[in-house]
Amino acid sequence: MSSTEHSSKAPSATTPVPSVYGTPTPVPARRATAGVDSAVLGGWLREMVLIREFELRCMQAYQDKKIGGFCHVYIGQEAVAVGCTAAVEAKDPIVTAYRDHGHALARGMSSRHCMAEMFGRIGGCAKGKGGSMHMFDRANNLFGGHGIVGAQIPLGVGLAFGTKYEDEVIAGGTSNRVTLAFLGDGALNQGSVHEAMNLAGLYDLPVIIICENNGYSMGTAISRGTTMGHDISAKAGAYGMEGVVIDGMDVIEVQGAMKELVDRVRSTCRPVFVDMRTYRYKGHSMSDPRKYRTRDEEEHYEGDCPIARLRAHLEPRGFSADAFKSMQREIRAEVREAVEWAEQSPVTPTSELYRDVYVERWGPYSGSSQPEMLGGAENTSEFKGCNPDGEML
């Protein structure tokens, strides 16, 4: 089955996950959908199809040399970004790794600004200076994709510390924000990840660390490079954290399980680690030939597509094949328009090397401004310095 076609036939609930995780693990029982409004489910389906189509266009653009540098697509993992984002509130911070286009779109970034960033154009979310691995959307509390493996987890824990400090110390209330910090299974052995988890557990920080466990890091099965690869949630216990396994191929399961965790973390201010079992249908990056896994295994997961799962839930509610085709046409038109808009946006000029280094003008640096999607206004700062007593001037 191709990544552009999505059969609505639901797989058996007893289908075992292949040995990519070290030992066969039964897929968790599916959640009932009776309590979820059809319009909400339809919205999640649209978001997942948008991510899928966006990524397919990115692959084409990369092959046409319109996108430079590295490019890591999210095809197959759409249910994770959509379900997790649906489980939190707009005020809750999110930080992720470099497979970040899906998170940006799920969080509400325009496909135009996302595609322009991919193309290195001034209309991108980071003015074309970040590219594929650095999708930022401050208005939606998305604090970026990050290219240094595992480095975003200390940032996520820091965001949780910051929100807790603001809510409890500055505002004098109670902590009421939850940070989601995503990483891939290949980053799990980075020392900074464990240092951050230690601090999260030590300081009772409201953060959920989500390992998007697609089983292969850059091309080595998790069982060959990580202890307890068959159950990485066990690592949470060393830091006094709860460890949870979630079926990341079912958006209803993701949203439901994550909503329970988010509500608990919001009320208890205790961190959680999630082993989010998912699968990427394409290689680690566009340069990956995927020779380390079999076609039989890939077909197994492609037959259990998260988009097809949700379609299967919606069909008994009257969502027909024609309705799905109409949705696809609409989304494809949107993404084609995003590509055209990105191509018309000017290439980021070299003068931007001297912008956004300091907020205000200093020496050869010409200050900073917001990206187009935030209005493009010149940034100003009221902070001019401190007197010897530390008071602001």
The pLDDT tens digits of the residues spanning 131-180 come to: 999 999 999 999 999 999 999 999 999 999 999 999 999 999 999 999 99
- Distance, in Å, from the CA atom of 245 to the CA atom of 21, rounded to the nearest integer, reads 12
pLDDT band (50, 70, 90) for residue 36: confident
Q: In b/e form, how buried is each residue of 147-165, taking b as 16+ CB within 10 angstroms?
A: bebbbbbbbbbbbbbebbe
pLDDT number for residue 360: 87
Kindly state whether residues 245 and 355 are assigned to the same domain.
no
Q: Is residue 177 in a domain?
A: yes
Distance CA(342)–CA(85), nearest Å, equals 25
| Number of other residues whose CB lies within 10 A of the CB of residue 360 | 14
Mean pLDDT value across residues 316-328: 94
Looking at the fold, whether 344 and 362 belong to one and the same domain comes out as no
Helices (H), 150-227: 152-165, 191-202, 222-225
- The pLDDT of residue 359 is 87
Q: pLDDT tens digits, residue range 180-233? A: 999 999 999 999 999 999 999 999 999 999 999 999 989 899 989 999 999 999
* 214 in any annotated domain: yes
Sequence-distant (6+) residues with CB within 8 A of 28 are 245, 246, 247, 253
Total of domains in the chain? 2
123 shares a domain with 228: yes
Q: Give the pLDDT score at 10.
A: 45
Picking from 71-85, 186-200, 349-363, which range would have the lowest pLDDT averaged per residue? 349-363
Answer yes or no: do 78 and 100 share one domain: yes
- Measured CA distances, 156 to 65, 106, 153, 189, 351 (Å): 33, 18, 5, 17, 31
State the pLDDT at residue 25.
46
Evaluate if residue 383 carries a pLDDT over 60: no
CB 103 within 8 A of CB 182: yes
What pLDDT sits at residue 389? 57
Residue 332 sits in the same domain as residue 370: no
For residue 377, give both structure tokens. Answer: 């206004």
Mean of the pLDDT values across residues 334-343? 98
* Distance of alpha carbon 386 from alpha carbon 255, whole angstroms: 47
284/365 same-domain check: no
- The chain-wide mean pLDDT, for the chain, equals 90
How many CB atoms are located within 10 Å of the residue 48 CB?
Answer: 27
pLDDT at site 379: 86
Domain match, 329 and 363 both: no
User: What domain range is 360 assigned to?
Assistant: 350-393
Residues 271 and 360 in one domain: no
Same domain, yes or no: 232 and 331: yes
Kindly report, residue by residue over 241-282, the tens digit of the pLDDT: 999 999 999 999 999 999 999 999 999 999 999 999 999 999
In a shared domain, residues 370 and 267: no
Q: What is the pLDDT of residues 223-248, one digit of tens each?
A: 899 999 999 999 999 999 999 999 99
Do 114 and 205 share a domain, yes or no? yes
Residue 28 lies in a domain: yes
Is 3 inside any structural domain? no
Domain of 33, CATH number, reads: 3.40.50.970
Query: Domain for residue 5, yes or no?
Result: no
Closest CA to 217 of 172, 266, 183, 170: 183
Residue 227 included in any domain? yes
Is 312 a residue whose pLDDT tops 80?
A: yes
The C-alpha torsion from 250 through 252 and 254 to 255, rounded to 10°, is 160
Say yes or no: 370 and 273 in one domain: no
Whole-number Å distance between alpha carbons of 360 and 157: 29
